[in-house]
Amino acid sequence: MPTKVHFENIKNILLDEINCTNFKIDVAVAWITEPDIIKALESLLNQEISVRIIAFDDKINNTDALKKLYYKGAEIKLSKGLMHNKFCIIDSKTVISGSFNWTRNASRNDENITINKNEIDLVKDYSQEFLNLWRKCPNIEDKLKINKYHINDIESEFNNTVWSLKQNNFPFFYFVDAERKGRQFTYNKYGYLEKGYYLIKSLNELENDFKYLFYIENGFDLRELKRKTDLEFQFNLNHYTDIYPFSNDEKVVELKKNIFALKKLSTKYHWGQKFSFDQYGEIVNESIVIAILKKNRLLISENKKYQIIFENGKKIDFQANQRDGSINFTEKSYFIGSESKVIDNQFFCARVLVDKENNFSRSALYNSDGQSLTRPIFKYSDYNFIKDENKYVFKEYPVAYSSGNYIKHLANNSSPLWVHKEIILDLKKMKIFKYGEPIIEGFNIPNRMRIGMSNDSVLRFASDKKYGLFCLAMFIVKSDLKVKDFNQATLEFVDKTSSLINDSEKIAVAKKIISKFTLIYKQEQEKFEAIKKDAERIANLNKESDSCFIATRVYGHLEHPHTMEFRKFRDKVLVKNLIGQNFIKYYYYLSPKYVDFLDDKPILLKLTKEILEMIRKRIVVKFINQRNNIC
């Protein structure tokens, strides 16, 4: 191919040539910052094609991009002196030269390149010039804190360490003496360690997660390593070791039963992981640490149940504390999910499954001993602000209200509730300070119209001492009660629950009482519907006194020709004698019921039609013909 000079579309022509490289490319260009060209060179490296680069060592060059090419396998040297070369040699047969710099701005200038192919002497001259420059320029590795040789050495040492540690029985503890690095290390996601023992549970963790510990222990800053090299590690910078390190050597070495450790996920221990071990080092339990409470107690999520655990691993019996309190939920209403709210490290709110049948849950307030201070009456978003430094304010929304002759539940209310009651927790006295009066939220809200209430209506809350649980049951099962029935039902509720302590059992009793009244309401409604239907039927009879019910049902219309024949027979024959009159009387009494009976009975309807046709042809038509159509 003869020599060719290009003045337009230079970047794309250059990219086409680079992308056609088969085994090597040597580049001597002062400045290389064009992203598309850098990507093309990366692509060559990914194909294991040799890439050698000489560039000018100044701030214009994208040093990070050159380092990225270096760590991907390119050989790079940086010229200390000013260089104006702009050429590359591809596969020892193509030479590209000219005024075009490999930069973002070069495409906007009046530049040119010359492409020479298969000119042996020219290739030889440019290759010699490249070799002369290569010998004089220092390697980019001299500017790097971490180079490929360092990484190769540490990888080799890591593999040797892993091989030796494989001889241990899993799980085992790996000791890190962080203080030997000359400073106090702090454990966090940026790659610092504390002195102590770290748990290695399996071969997979040894070959993958252990790499995090090993690199940091040997003085590598993982943030710098990741940012500078862009290498693909088997761990990421947000990896956390499996266990917060022990500082007590003897405790770890002896592996006393029930010792446990934490994995930190934040400086406040909010969300971490707990491991318990037996005397053989076997993991006997894993759970999630929600928060650390006062008295050195941990709020733990374990198998969807919240428990309090001492530092020595002993558990507090939640159920016993609740049974001793005034508000009680046993294992039938265990703590669920992962939602919790810790208050001043001495109280917490946790969700309780109040009613399993209806999958109804709410949050209750507990102290650090696990004693319940409120019923489970809060939505997760209800406890969200502190009034002042000594008080914590909760919002409780009503579950029912009075409206005329009814007590109505609010479970199906789609409008935003406009009123709440404040429940104030005194942090100093560590108890509920008071249950406030209902508060209207916002301004210019049409009083009680949102939920169909009048100014005389009474709001009902689950926290109400007397009937709160009963109204909560109405809310759960979505049932309304008449006021007179509500009064009767609550009397029965108090009588049947006077000996019960457990709130969940009281709610179960309330549900049974409510269901009894809803059944009565259902029966009354069915009776009312039946009476209404009979009234409508009688009204229709009066409205259509000349109806011929059975014939109309069989033939489909009152004006059908065959129906008209029966009507003529009635009016011209039957009404003329006493027997016919009595027949008409009983017919109008029984025929509507018979027509209703025919519904969904196609066979009987067909048989009725055949009988009616036989009567019509043998009697009705005969009389009509005999009387010369007097009917």
d(CA 209, CA 174) in angstroms, rounded, equals 12
Instruction: Give the domain CATH number at 102.
Output: 3.30.870.10
Q: Which of 28-42, 323-337, 377-391 is least confident?
A: 323-337
Q: Is residue 465 part of a domain?
A: yes
Per-range mean pLDDT, top range of 45-49, 260-264, 425-429, 462-466: 45-49
- The average pLDDT across 573-585 equals 80
d(CA 220, CA 144) in angstroms, rounded, equals 13
For 467-487, write each residue's pLDDT tens digit.
Answer: 888 988 898 888 999 989 999
Closest to 57 (Cα-Cα) out of 39, 76, 36, 75: 76
566: pLDDT strictly greater than 90: no
Residue 199 host element (H or E): strand 196-200
Q: Which of 236-245, 268-277, 501-510 is least confident?
A: 236-245
Q: How confident is the model at residue 455, as a pLDDT? A: 59
- Ranges of H-type helices in 247-307: 249-254
d(CA 315, CA 85) in angstroms, rounded, equals 75
Do the strands 385-388 and 305-310 form a parallel or antiparallel pair, or are they unpaired?
unpaired
SS3 332: helix
Q: What is the DSSP letter of 619?
A: I
Q: Which two tokens stand for residue 425?
A: 């927790």
322: pLDDT strictly greater than 60: no
Q: Is residue 265 part of a domain?
A: no
Do the strands 75-79 and 50-56 form a parallel or antiparallel pair, or are they unpaired?
parallel
Q: How confident is the model at residue 347, as a pLDDT? A: 75
Q: How confident is the model at residue 244, as a pLDDT? A: 38
Q: Where are the beta strands (DSSP E) in 446-585?
A: 459-460, 481-482
CA 482 to chain centre: 40
302 Cβ contact list (under 8 Å, min separation 6): 285, 287, 288
Kindly state whether residues 63 and 101 are assigned to the same domain.
yes
Q: Which domain-ending residue is among 92, 125, 143?
A: 143
| Average confidence score pLDDT of the chain | 72
Q: What does residue 282 show for φ and ψ, rounded to 5 degrees?
A: -80, 140
- Tell me the pLDDT band of 433, cut-offs 50, 70 and 90: low
* Whether residue 138 has a cis bond before it, omega within 30° of 0: no
Closest to 482 (Cα-Cα) out of 412, 408, 411: 408
Per-range mean pLDDT, top range of 192-201, 531-540, 589-598: 589-598
Closest to 54 (Cα-Cα) out of 127, 2, 121: 127
Q: Which domain-ending residue is among 462, 490, 513?
A: 513
Q: How confident is the model at residue 119, as a pLDDT? A: 92
Q: Is residue 450 part of a domain?
A: yes
Closest to 134 (Cα-Cα) out of 85, 66, 73, 92: 85
Q: Which of 56-70, 153-167, 433-447 is least confident?
A: 433-447
Kindly state whether residues 16 and 135 are assigned to the same domain.
yes
Closest to 242 (Cα-Cα) out of 280, 204, 268, 299: 204
SS3 69: helix
For 192-248, write each residue's pLDDT tens digit.
Answer: 555 666 667 677 767 766 776 777 676 665 555 555 454 444 443 333 333 334 444
Q: How confident is the model at residue 513, as a pLDDT? A: 92
Kindly state whether residues 23 and 41 are assigned to the same domain.
yes
Measured between its terminal Cα atoms, the distance across the chain in Å is: 115
Q: Which two tokens stand for residue 108?
A: 């906007």
Q: In the chain, what's the furthest Cα-to-Cα distance?
A: 138
- Give me the domain span that covers residue 422: 385-513
Q: Is residue 139 part of a domain?
A: yes
445: pLDDT strictly greater than 50: no
Q: How confident is the model at residue 312, as a pLDDT? A: 46
Kindly state whether residues 134 and 154 are assigned to the same domain.
no
Helices 468-477 and 483-497 pack at an angle, to 10 degrees, of: 120
Q: How confident is the model at residue 147, as a pLDDT? A: 75
Residue with tokens 């680069």: 53
268 Cβ contact list (under 8 Å, min separation 6): 291, 292
Kindly state whether residues 36 and 137 are assigned to the same domain.
yes
Q: What is the DSSP letter of 314?
A: P
Kindly state whether residues 137 and 156 are assigned to the same domain.
no
d(CA 261, CA 255) in angstroms, rounded, equals 12
Q: Which domain-ending residue is among 127, 143, 159?
A: 143
Q: How confident is the model at residue 308, as a pLDDT? A: 54
288: which strand partners? Answer: 273, 301
Q: Where are the beta strands (DSSP E) in 476-584?
A: 481-482
Q: Are 375 and 349 in contact (CB under 8 A)?
A: no
Q: Is the dihedral of CA 247, 253, 254, 256 positive or negative?
A: positive
For 393-417, write each residue's pLDDT tens digit.
Answer: 777 778 888 877 888 888 655 444 5
- The average pLDDT across 422-445 equals 57
Amino acid identity for residue 255 in this structure: L
- Which has the higher per-residue pLDDT, 462 or 274? 462
Q: How confident is the model at residue 372, as a pLDDT? A: 75
Q: Is residue 313 part of a domain?
A: no
- Tell me the pLDDT band of 595, cut-offs 50, 70 and 90: confident
- The average pLDDT across 24-31 equals 92
Q: What is the DSSP letter of 575?
A: G
What is the model's pTM? 0.44
- Tell me the pLDDT band of 283, cut-offs 50, 70 and 90: low
Kindly state whether residues 58 and 189 are assigned to the same domain.
no
Q: Are 489 and 470 in contact (CB under 8 A)?
A: yes
Per-range mean pLDDT, top range of 78-92, 123-137, 429-443: 123-137
Kindly state whether residues 549 and 436 are assigned to the same domain.
no
SS3 381: coil
Radius of gyration of the chain measured on its C-alpha atoms = 45
Residue 559: how many other CB atoms lie within 10 Å: 9
Q: Is residue 603 part of a domain?
A: yes
Amino acid identity for residue 90 in this structure: I
For 84-112, write each residue's pLDDT tens digit.
Answer: 788 999 999 999 998 888 887 766 667 88
Kindly state whether residues 138 and 152 are assigned to the same domain.
no
Q: Is residue 270 part of a domain?
A: no
Kindly state whether residues 425 and 469 are assigned to the same domain.
yes
Q: Is the dihedral of CA 611, 612, 617, 622 positive or negative?
A: positive
575 Cβ contact list (under 8 Å, min separation 6): 581, 584
Question: What total number of domains does the chain contain?
Answer: 4
Per-range mean pLDDT, top range of 102-106, 296-300, 505-509, 594-598: 505-509
Percentage of the chain modeled with pLDDT above 70 = 60
Closest to 1 (Cα-Cα) out of 15, 20, 28, 27: 20
Kindly state whether residues 106 and 131 are assigned to the same domain.
yes
For 109-120, write each residue's pLDDT tens digit.
Answer: 678 899 999 999
Do the strands 459-460 and 406-409 form a parallel or antiparallel pair, or are they unpaired?
unpaired
Q: Is residue 599 part of a domain?
A: yes
Cα 406 to Cα 65, 302, 414, 457, distances in angstroms: 76, 44, 19, 10
Closest to 563 (Cα-Cα) out of 622, 513, 609: 609
d(CA 611, CA 606) in angstroms, rounded, equals 9
Kindly state whether residues 588 and 618 are assigned to the same domain.
yes
- The average pLDDT across 176-193 equals 48
- Percent helix, strand, coil in the chain, to 5, is 40, 25, 35
- Which has the higher per-residue pLDDT, 4 or 365? 4
Q: Which of 89-103, 135-149, 177-191, 427-441 is least confident?
A: 177-191
